[in-house]
Structure 1
Amino acid sequence: MKPVVVVGAGAAGLGAALRLARAGCPVQVIDGAAGATSLSCGAVDATPWEDGDTALRMDGEALRLLEELGLYRLGGAVLATTAGILRGAAGADRAMLDVKALPRGAVLVPRVEHSGWDGGTLARSWSDTEMARACGLTFTAVDATILRFREERGLCDADIAARHDDGARLGWLGERLREALGRSGRCVGVILPPWLGVEGPQAEALSERVGLPCGEALAALASAAGRRFERVRDRALSRAGAAVRRGWVRRVAASPWTVELEDGEAIEASAVVLAAGGLVGGGIAYDPSEAAAGGEVPEGARPVFRMTMAAPGTLGARGRPLELPGSLFGVPPESIAWPFANDPLMDRVGLLVDASGAVQGAPGGLVACGDLVADRPRTWLEAWRSGVRAGGTLCAMLLGRENVDLHDARG
């Protein structure tokens, strides 16, 4: 059998690749560059977190595969963010501190000289939230020597996190935290900058050394959580026997399915999964007609979004194809983006697919998932769930059965 080519290696692409590989399909993953998953903060949500919905709705296959990654703690959590708020999540990277799981009391926040961490301000801000009061928690800033070298004051979070993969460095951090706890009085936990490992989450190992629950705060984009996902993803694909090819896809063509890379290589496939991401991941580009015109009048109007690779299918939103703008110069950007528009087009645009993930208008064997799909939440769990579903669709087509035992190909 020719391989199933999965274009993209984020949450959606990984879910599809593992679903296919575990069913016995040969899989070739094309990984272009870091996308939305690699930039993720460590929370896993099914809906936008502002909605307050932390329910975990996932079928058995998607849940089993996710649990096997070993990176995420599922079932609802309350996380402290470096923006100074507490927020709920359906699950989180195991390096994160779930403050909901702590008993009532004080949480130690180290005060340390680092450009990305203001322990005093964060402690006051977290303490002054309704969620902290509901949990019976206060956050106490305490001076602590948790950076070992002066040059670390300017290092990015992920680089410091990588140093804590070393057991000796993690042990040193545990000793410094115990010293800080001795000066702070009774505490029920310790919350730290996002520095607890890259090869894997080190929060549990640190908690054992300190004798209290320890974990990271939820950081902004490009934190250590994205690098941890990449390491876990690469190990999971290797165990599953999926091949990985670095490169950018220029074109996907049918009859037979062929994936053409920018370097000219063409890969023949039995089927193709499009999981290249949306506007953040690079699968969709904002490209109004005036962008190519320079100082001249555009030759004609065109939709303001396009796919970054040539492939069958139609970009759309709200269940229908994108419309041509009424002006040669497109539409005002503020009319399609938050916060200027309710239910903005930018949050919805993607490939139109059916309920199984099959791309509408394309020959059989082409599915799409993740942020590349129209009208679906741009969340981690939705990307994962749609990837596993898309992989199952191709299992049914290629292997002739929908409910393939995920244990079939593990040996």
Structure 2
Amino acid sequence: MTWQEDAGRDLVRSFGERMAMFVRGEGSHLWDADGKRYLDFLAGIAVDSLGHAHPVFVAALANQAATLAHVSNYFATPPQLELAARLKRLAGTGESGRVYFGNSGAEANEAAFKLARLHGGAGRPRILALKDAFHGRTMGTLALTGKPWMQEPFLPMTPGVEFIDSTAEALEAALDDRVAALFVEPVKGEAGVIDLPDGYLQAARELTARHGALLIVDEIQTGAGRTGEWFAFQHAGITPDAITVAKGVGGGFPIGALITFGAASDLFYPGTHGSTFGGNALGTAVAGAVLGEIERADLVRNAAERGEQLRTAILGIESDLIGGVRGRGLLLGVALTHPVAKAVVAAAQEHGLVINAPNDETLRLVPALTIGDVEIDEFIELLTASVRTVEDALLLEAHSDTHTEAHA
């Protein structure tokens, strides 16, 4: 029996068919069960900040596992307190900030949802979120996710959430003193790496402050240096009321966090939220080591510089299929001129390149923050080959259609 048959029999079908069986990783490369080598420009969907099997990650995991893994949140541990202090410093919360730890981005956004409800009370029943944004698949975070097709099988949703266009005009029209919070993704990754309009976050900060609503920024995919700043909101020079983080913070270890600023830090009180595993010594030690290495190696700057290098190189590929590049740092979306993104992803895998298609007309690139010239050169070579494979197939299809019409 093959691994595909095992997966089809034993795993739930919500993820669809698995595309490969990977057995080993090192740096920006993966090897499948047949020994084939791949360049990984998906990094576990923006998770593997340091790449695969980085010595810092491995050492932190092994050392902490041999010391203390878990004691529950009835108690504190040094790695937990050290990571909380580091996150506050990197986010710029000041002394008033606080950190809640969970196990995933969805859990971080669930905590943020409850923070909004605590702030709103009975007098602010409304929560605003953006159309086509993605905040998670749990029942609470799905209610915040502006994708009706994802919600439809699970209706009714948690009430009170309203979806608006991603414009300052729509926000100004929707905001009033009955709004508890506005949730935003600074870059809509699952929508195809779509940037918010210039000035949107600044306008959102001014308008939410005017009406007494919280501004909550979902940094699950954009945080941990991914966009060329520690957190994407920092590009806008604003201070939100809360941010949520996960993915790249743990570098491959499951961890998420809600980070609060100012008065929002005092909304939770004992009994209002909790997690058995959230913030345990093992997870926080690994995340602290990952963030420490990102700082030590100046990988935030590397993300900014390599992102521009990658953008320029992609736009230099001679192909009518490539229509542009969106995003910031090492969160990039390659816009295609035809709805063939899934075909390009499949061709890329055949050529030994791992990328992702969040929709039919976009390729998503989220490589490790450690990439350099060698990885970028290899990527361009493999992407060029993949795009040409699909172009050849389109030409063959067009020729076949023309031949059929001629003989009709």
Pick the TM interval, shorter chain.
under 0.3
Which has the larger helix fraction?
2
TM-score normalised to the size of structure 1? 0.22
TM-score under structure 2 length normalisation? 0.22
Decide which structure has the larger Cα Rg and report it.
Answer: 1
